[in-house]
Amino acid sequence: MCDSTAALLSTIAPLVTIYLGFPVLFLGFVGNLLSLLVFLSLETFRQSSCAFYLTMASFINTFHLFTGLLTFIAINGIGDSWLNASLIYCKFRQYFAQVCIMMSMSCMCLATIDQFLATQSNVRWYRFNNVKLARYIFLSLLLCLVFLLIPYLIYYNHIISVSTGKIVCAITNAIFSKYSDYAQSLFVLIIIPMSIMTVFGLLAYRNVQNISYRTIPLVRRELDKQLTSMVLVQVFYNIPVMTPMLIATFYNGVVGSTLNACDRIKMGITINLCILWYYLFAVGAFYIYVSVSKRFRQQLIYVLFNMLWEQFRRRCKHNLVEPQKQ
């Protein structure tokens, strides 16, 4: 009974990976591209430090989808043996995944903190809301993570899977494996950033409720309201998206070594489904912005149909070749 169930699940799992993975990849690519288009086209966003963090998060999420999700589909859905057999790819895929997710989470934390400072009644905090400082913080944080996450390059290696008998990429150091499963996955990637985003997001929302009583320019006031709502909803979206992966990883780390062969297959399939669900973290930002912000929808329409379409028309008109006169 166990063998037949495991065989059925092993047959269905690649199909689920393909038919769920590619739509997630497509939606993520299109959404992040449109977010970048709006953020980079409008001067209002280019001058905002909060929008800078959201722009960088969109860049990182796009890279994460192609280096992480696309290859995940190739390995677990299509069964690309070359990707799975490359030790260099094994190491760098996991390394880039950690860098991307930590930088993406960091950008969201910084965006919520930035909005909290931007909506403060005390003007002395405004000096921290500038794009130049945001770029410095982003680059400094990126360099720190590039070096701090080097152990993932060292300890990820090829091993033979007990359940499938195939070569898989996994951590081979027991101590670092415990750190990755508990400290990194539980606290560094979930509890700490989610706590920061929730606290500062709610504080920024509270400040926005009183923003109408302050003498600040109308454009700045509307931008603060828009960015705060976009960031806050994204914070609460991230919690249910990332929690299943956290639970599955934690459970597998606790009882994984005690499971029999059949249960290991079921656990592996469950983790793969949670990974697909987790990648929604890198997909949902644009669709959240469109859903919660009427102003963002108007800005998107303006960029697509007023700016880009007019540029396209002028370019086509410029490229027309007039007939030569006899």
Q: In terms of pLDDT, which residue wins out, 257 or 12?
A: 12
CA 249 to chain CA centroid, nearest Å? 18
Encode pLDDT of 190-209 as tens digits.
Answer: 888 989 999 998 898 888 88
Coil, strand or helix: which one is 295?
Answer: helix
Give residue-wise pLDDT tens across range 82-91.
Answer: 666 778 888 8
d(CA 12, CA 275): 16
| d(C-alpha 283, C-alpha 26), whole Å | 9
Q: What was the pLDDT predicted at 285?
A: 92
Distance CA 219, CA 74 (A): 46
Q: How far apart are CA 290 and CA 296, in angstroms?
A: 6
Residue 193 neighbours by CB under 8 Å, 6+ apart: 105, 106, 108, 109
User: In the structure, what pLDDT confidence band is assigned to residue 325 with cuts at 50, 70 and 90?
Assistant: very low
Checking if the pLDDT of 304 tops 50, the result is yes
Q: What percent of the chain has pLDDT over 70?
A: 87
Mean pLDDT throughout 102-119? 92
- Is pTM beyond 0.75? Reply is yes
pLDDT for res 326 = 44
Structure tokens at 35: 């977010």
Q: What value does the mean pLDDT take over residues 130-158?
A: 93
Residue-averaged pLDDT of the chain: 84
What is the pairing mode between strands 156-160 and 167-171?
Answer: antiparallel
The stretch 299-305 carries a mean pLDDT of 89
Tell me: the pLDDT tens digits for 288-299?
A: 999 999 999 999
Mean of the pLDDT values across residues 33-39?
94
Structure confidence at residue 103 (pLDDT): 94
Specify the higher pLDDT residue, 242 or 32. 32
3-state secondary structure of 33: helix
Q: How many residues does the chain have?
A: 326
Overall average pLDDT of the 6-22 stretch:
82
pLDDT one-digit tens code per residue, 157-182: 888 776 666 777 888 888 988 888 77
Q: How far apart are CA 270 and CA 6, in angstroms?
A: 12
Looking at per-residue confidence, does 112 or 13 come out higher?
Answer: 112
| Predicted confidence (pLDDT) per residue in 47-58, tens digit | 899 999 999 999
Q: How far is CA 298 from CA 186, 218, 294, 302, in A?
A: 39, 17, 6, 6
Question: Which domains, ranges and CATH numbers included, belong to the chain?
Answer: 2-302 (1.20.1070.10)
Q: Residue 60 — very low, low, confident or very high, per pLDDT cuts 50/70/90?
A: very high
In which band, very low, low, confident or very high, does the pLDDT at 80 lie, cut at 50, 70 and 90?
A: low
